[in-house]
Amino acid sequence: MATYLDCNATTPIEPEVLEVMLRYLADEYGNAGSRTHEFGVRAKQAIERAREQVAAVVAAQPDEVVFTSGATESNNISLLGLSAGAESATGAGRRHIVSTVIEHKAVLEPLERLAAQGFEVSLIHPDRLGRIDSQAILAAVRPDTLLVSVMHANNETGIVQPIETIAAGLPETVYLHVDAAQTFGKLIAPLQNPRIDLISVSAHKIFGPKGIGALISRRRNGKRAPLSPLMLGGGQERGLRPGTQPVHLIAGLGVAAQLSLRDHAQRQATCLRFRDGVLTAMAQLGGQANGDQEHCLPHVLNVSLPGLNSEAAMVALKGILALSNGSACTSTSYEPSHVLVAMALDQDRIESALRLSWCHLTPAVDWPQVCAALRRMM
């Protein structure tokens, strides 16, 4: 069976997470909205416990956590919900948004919709190493800027962006949203910055279940960002995410968040040791790392192998490694990576790019076998 090296797409589930999910599926199956009996009370208690566990990771308050279906929905609420809510609260005077061209499609596509509705969107390009210049972001901010939205780490390259510097330089009137799908529970201190107003979280990136995530909506100066719901039909999650709460998924996210704090140092050390083997093997093949390796997540490597198309490489590694050549969310499109294109890499390098992403649960890899399989195709 192939060794799984696509953890940026989704991670395996932690046994402790699965255990709590099964309990709330099979035994504690009450609806948290049922207040007339103990099943509902225990379900509500489980949700509030998970809210505390998620909040602790980013040093937020439990009531600042809104459960969603994942980071995609959290991004949409942050962008579309804020634009609608701010207009309702303050009028149409602030219709400018600053973001980057390397964002996930769950940010770029809502921004396209807002642009079609009359908002002006300024998108900042990265340098050739995939880093966004914080000063370029700050220089793009204007008196009518409503929001700055910058991902914490890119899902394709693993390059970490300077959100702390951006947060420190923003005017008080501008909201800051961070898509932290790839970093929540992995990079702890930066996301605890109280100047970050909105944080998007996904459970299945931190060894939890698919289909659940969170939006952290912090108070700043006693006030939350004025978000409007995208759906209507109930009062759950402060009215921002109506519908029956999936207790088993929420409880799973809560435990996954708790474990991410408890085991952070150990997980990171394991990933760094694994990274040494990846870098050695890719160097033997003449691989070129894409992105600034001094600002890269410890469990990700985007690498181009000269003379070897990425699709051919994945065929060669079938049954040996399970990996990708880009974002899982756009893997059916076969278009060149918008991230690598924005980095101004040449076409051959883009077409030969592979993304390897691993975790503390990844077993050892027979790297000589990997190298031999790839050399046969080169």
Catalytic residues: 329
Record the tokens describing residue 105, joined without a space: 């499609």
Task: Give the CA-trace dihedral at 8, 10, 15, 16, to 10 degrees.
Answer: 80
**Alpha-carbon span 14 to 204, nearest angstrom:** 10
**Alpha-carbon span 60 to 108, nearest angstrom:** 27
Non-local (6+) Cβ contacts of 192 within 8 A are 58, 59
CB-CB contact of 179 with 107 (8 Å): yes
**Alpha-carbon span 80 to 224, nearest angstrom:** 16
Record the tokens describing residue 272, joined without a space: 């760094």
Among 152, 233, 228, 201, CA closest to 50: 201
Among 73, 87, 281, CA closest to 181: 73
Record the tokens describing residue 256, joined without a space: 């996954």
